[in-house]
Amino acid sequence: QVQLVESGGGLVQPGGSLALSCAASGSIFSINTWGWYRQAPGKQRELVATRTTGGGTNYADSVKGRFTISRDNAKNTVTLQMNSLKPEDTAVYYCNARRLHPTEYDYWGQGTLVTVSP
Instruction: State the average pLDDT for the chain.
Output: 97
Run of H or E residues at 107: strand 105-108
Q: DSSP letter string over 67-101?
A: EEEEEETTTTEEEEEE-S--GGG-EEEEEEEEE-S
Alpha-carbon span 53 to 55, nearest angstrom:
5
- Neighbour-count burial of 77, counting CB atoms closer than 10 A to its CB (0-12 exposed, 13-18 middle, 19+ buried): middle
The pLDDT-based confidence of 73 (bands split at 50, 70, 90) is confident
Q: What is the pLDDT of residues 8-21, one digit of tens each?
A: 999 999 999 999 99
Backbone angles phi, psi at 110, to 5 degrees: -80, -15
Tell me how crowded residue 6 is: count the other CB atoms within 10 A of its CB. Answer: 22
Alpha-carbon span 38 to 42, nearest angstrom:
12
The pLDDT-based confidence of 109 (bands split at 50, 70, 90) is very high
The pLDDT-based confidence of 103 (bands split at 50, 70, 90) is very high
Return the pLDDT at 61. Answer: 98
Overall average pLDDT of the 49-75 stretch: 96
